[in-house]
Structure 1
Amino acid sequence: MTHIDLSGLLDQLEHTLSPGGVLRGTDVSGRSAGIWRPDTIAAAAILRPRSTAEVSQVLALCHQHQQPIVTHGGLTGLVGGALTQPDEIVLSLERMNQIEELDRTGRTLTAQAGVPLQAIQDASAAADLLFPLDLGARGSCTIGGNMATNAGGNRVLRYGMARSQLLGLEVVLADGSVVSSMTKMLKNNAGYDIKQMFVGSEGTLGVITRVILRLQPAPASHQVALVACPDFAAVTQILNHLDAAFGGTLSAFEVMWPDFYTLVSDAESGCRAPLGDYPLYVLLDTLGSDPSRDKAQFEDVLGDLLEQGTIVDAVIAQTKQEAAELWALRDNVEQVFRFGQPYLFDVSVPIADMDVYRQRVLAAWEQDFPDGHFYVFGHVGDGNLHFCASVGGYDETIKACLDEGIYGPLKEFHGSISAEHGIGEEKKAWLAACRSDSEIALMRALKTTLDPLTILNRGKVIDI
């Protein structure tokens, strides 16, 4: 590898970026390496451009010097996708945080990549519109990071993943070239859809700098309920019944197994348990257009399911506060840290196989770690399960055993090692469990073509 005069390169970058654009020393090492991580950033410097032009200049210089670089958004990822080495440079989009335009007529929003997701949600709501992408890290995660990881979250069932909310995108390639596909058109069938190549690429193919987002009409009604079910067969019956009965307005279908529900609603959790002990709990959420009609229909449909025994208990939110309290249960994930640093997993499995797969994973884990604490919940309406395992402090041998238990069976169930968190460093070794040899070869070809010197997020997603 070519010897890099890192000090000289950083001096050049100091002159390239606007004041405050290069951080070094304790301004780097004093920052957390990411959400729920005990370590801090290990990197030679943090670069903070203010514009696409500055990003382009940074990447052109780093490409010239073959300097590895890792892009940072809100650092809310959970798979090591933003981890750095001491000889790498961080490219942070934190100062590219402007909402440039909100087009009410066309229902679009144009923003720089460093804008937090919640700021986009709030700006949309102020214009009586909805940006439907939503996840627990909304206050910290950035829209560029959301697109780079193809974030999922709470409303995928109705609105789709992050890529479904994207109309236009601007990206800077490894050599500093700017590729702009900033179009507001919903229909643009002129050749390859270039922007989608960068969605979910986790910063390995280019650096997303600006986006044009598709907004939705603001819902006039919001209905939320927590229901209890006798078994997983009832869960699938409820999902199919509600999807048909609510005519496409079902927006979230979140399932919690008893261990997780008890953890997030006991005396230490800060949340109240609105229902007693049952085999399964489902958080339901609908967004509609007629408050009185939607409320009556919501109550009638759940009442029918109660009479049939498909639902065995229910609480329906009557106010916004009550709705927020029900969602707080599902979002109270940090409770899994009570028993030490947990191992966190997210996978996709066909809904019909979900409970059999869950049982197999837990049986293997409980055999290997009889004193462990295991929790399961997920966006079951779109096939996404989250597993949390607390078995003492972090250890590579334990992690490998847990990985085998959760990823090993996935090929048999035609599942995916990542539903929404991405691959990063942590899941790279298991990519072949859900991608064919030809798919992986094509991924390598794309990486080699767009980043031939491998300076962008080296060692993440795929090895070349």
Structure 2
Amino acid sequence: MDFLAALARSVGADRVQTGDAIPARHHTDWSGAPPVAPLALVRPRSTEEVSAVLRLCGEYRVSVVPQGGLTGLAGAAVPSADAIALSLDRMNAIESVDATASTVTVQAGATLSAVQEAAAAQGLQFGVDLGARGSCQIGGNLSTNAGGNGVLQFGMMREQTLGLEVVLADGSVLPMLRPMLKNNTGYDLKQFFIGAEGTLGVITRAVLRLYPAPRARATALVALTDFDAALALLGRLQARFPRAVAAFELMWRDFVETSLKWQGLREPFEAVHPLAALIDVVGDDEASLRTALEETLGEAMEAGQAGDAAIAQSQAQVQAFWKIREATAELPVHMHPPINFDVSLPMAEIGRFADACRSAFDARWPGHHSLFFGHVGDSNLHISTDGRSIGGQEAQIEALVYERVAAFGGSVSAEHGIGLHRKPYLSASRTPAELAAMRAIKHALDPLHLLNPGKVFDL
């Protein structure tokens, strides 16, 4: 094929794989979407090579599906048979860490864990953390505006980003690697590409914000009577520890019970409680921080906001508490398949929304296996249902959940993006005028519609 020969000549044959030489992992992502072998897998080593690839794809009218660590859950990185898959895994350098300015400059293929380790080596921390940290890549984190466990304290990837380098569909490069927090010079172009899931351009490099690493951290597991008590406890903690509540992970009883069973763990409390919150607070001194947390939780128990509480006394106990929450890694093993929802609601409505979904599930699929959990402090709720427990009726349960998301004024995607899976339901969270504006931006930046076609919305 002329295109493949031209591609090999342009960037080098060692950058291009075809047919059986393409590793199967590049046929799909963690979303469970059916695997598709792309026309070719291209693995450039520089921004210049990315630019050359996109120019050539424009010349031959070949679509491009950007791929990061392939840990996405919405299908945004799933290729098509007539498109190339563009993997940034060879562009994985941590280029520099500026400890004085608290920034790090990285290539898009660097893993999240590599960025975290580079920051830690300078006594700093990066504000985003999630379970796939060892596999997910910064380019993918940016393209999906990833969130995770640190959003409550630092915000999502959008808030961590000072500058980007992006290659447009025609191969031109936007050199927006400016490390300033204040830069009011017209449109903030980098924001177009954060959360765009590779439909507007290919992110190749980024300047990210870092923060001082905390000297001390205290972790607690707290039993709660209901969702309103959880919100009251969160408010109490944020008042006592301003900007220092690093995590507030809420787990409904179904999640806790299942996590303990899957991992062979013991019940954390003597009695069974409807909800449990996993809490991290940070500060300067471990002893005083733990004392302050103990006092705050004692006050919450006296006020009826908490039924029981345990503060970790060792790093091993911290890990044991977090192991309960991180059972999400077991979903693909124990659910056949897991049907995952990543929604956000006005915080005051999350408890009622969860109850409404559970009641609807009970009525339609008695005996279903569904888990409710989330970050909550940032309005994010996750639901995972075992597809086998509802007879494989994935479309039906999605329609049920997203109808209720719309009714509660929420978002069908809090942090995983739209991709393929949530595209049919985007209108539940976006008005026709908003969708028209999104399409206009797409037409302007990718007039041939070659970048990740078919993802997010139809043109």
Gaps of 5+ in 2: none
Alignment of 1:21 onto 2:15: yes
What displacement does 1:208 show?
Answer: 0.2
1:20-419, aligned counterparts within 5 Å? 20-28=14-22, 30-31=24-25, 33-35=28-30, 37=32, 40-266=35-261, 268-275=262-269, 276-337=271-332, 338-392=334-388, 398-419=393-414
Rounded Cα–Cα distance in structure 1 between residues aligned with 2:408 and 2:176: 37
- Does the Cα contact within 8 Å between 1:203 and 1:456 map onto a contact in 2? yes
Correspondence for 1:4: none
Q: Which residue of structure 1 aligns with residue 4 of structure 2? A: 10
Measured against aligned partners, the alpha-carbon deviations of 1:226-267 in whole angstroms (never above 9, x if no partner) come to: 10011112111101111111122011111000111011112x
Q: Could you tell me which amino acid in structure 2 is paired with residue 87 of structure 1? A: D
Question: What amino acid does structure 2 have at the position aligned with 1:109?
Answer: V
Deviation string 1:20-67 (CA, Å, 9 cap, x unpaired) is: 211112222532522263854421110000000000000000011110
Q: Which moved more, 1:48-57 or 1:183-192?
A: 183-192
TM-score normalised per structure 2? 0.96
**Residue 101 of structure 2: SS of its match in structure 1?**
coil
Q: What letter is aligned with 2:248?
A: F
| Separation of aligned partners in 2, 1:170 and 1:272 | 48
Shift of 1:393: 8.5
Structure 1: distance between partners of 2:331 and 2:48: 42
d(CA) in 2 for partners of 1:265, 1:335:
11
Q: Which amino acid aligns with 1:94?
A: D
Q: Does 1:444 align with 2:439?
A: yes
2:368/2:389 contact within 8 Å kept: no
Aligned residue identity for 1:405: L
**C-alpha displacement at 1:415, in angstroms?**
0.4
Between the aligned partners of 1:133 and 1:48, the Cα distance in structure 2 is 26
What is the aligned-residue identity percentage? 45
Which whole-Å CA distance do the structure 1 matches of 2:325 and 2:12 have between them?
42
Letter in 1 for 2:79: T
Give distance in 2, aligned partners of 1:442 and 1:306: 49
In structure 2, the partner of 1:461 is 456
**Cα displacement (A) at 1:364:** 1.6
**Residues 286/143 of structure 1: CA separation in 2 closer, same or farther (3 Å cut):** same
> Contact 2:228–2:351 at 8 Å: present in 1 too?
no
Q: Work out whether residues 116 and 125 of structure 2, in 8 Å CA contact, stay in contact via their aligned partners in 1.
A: yes
Distance 2:335 2:355 in 1: 22
Tell me if the contact between 2:63 and 2:453 (Cα under 8 Å) persists in the aligned partners.
yes
When residues 361 and 251 of structure 1 are mapped into structure 2, their CA distance, relative to the original with a 3 A threshold, is same
Per-residue deviation, residues 274-322 of structure 1 (Å, max 9, x unmatched): 2241111001111222323222111111122123332111111112221
Amino acid at match of 1:162: M
Q: Is the 8 A contact 1:341 1:394 kept in 2?
A: no
Distance 2:353 2:301 in 1: 28
Tell me the alpha carbon deviations over residues 113-132 of structure 1, each in whole angstroms, 9 at most, x when there is no partner.
00000000011001100102
- Distance in 2 of aligned mates of 1:30 and 1:152: 28
- Mapped to 1, the partners of 2:192 and 2:185 lie a distance apart of 15
**Partners of 2:401 and 2:369 in 1: CA distance:** 15
SS of the aligned residue for 1:20 comes to helix
Q: Which amino acid aligns with 1:132?
A: G
Distance 1:404 1:37 in 2: 19
Shift of 1:329: 1.1
SS in structure 1 of the partner of residue 371 of structure 2: strand
Deviations 1:366-425 (A, max 9, x none): 222223211100011111000011131898x71221111110022221100000000001
User: Take 1:271 and 1:38, find their aligned partners in 2: how far apart are those partners?
Assistant: 32
TM-score, structure 1 as length reference: 0.95
Per-residue CA shift, 1:93-117, capped at 9, x if unaligned? 0000001111111111000000000
Residue-by-residue CA offset, 1:61-105 (whole Å, 9 max, x unaligned): 001111011000000111111112211110000000001111111
Give structure 1 stretches of 5+ with no counterpart.
1-6
Query: Distance in 2 between the 1:12 and 1:134 partners?
Result: 40
Q: Quick check: 2:200–2:445 contact (8 Å CA) kept in 1?
A: yes
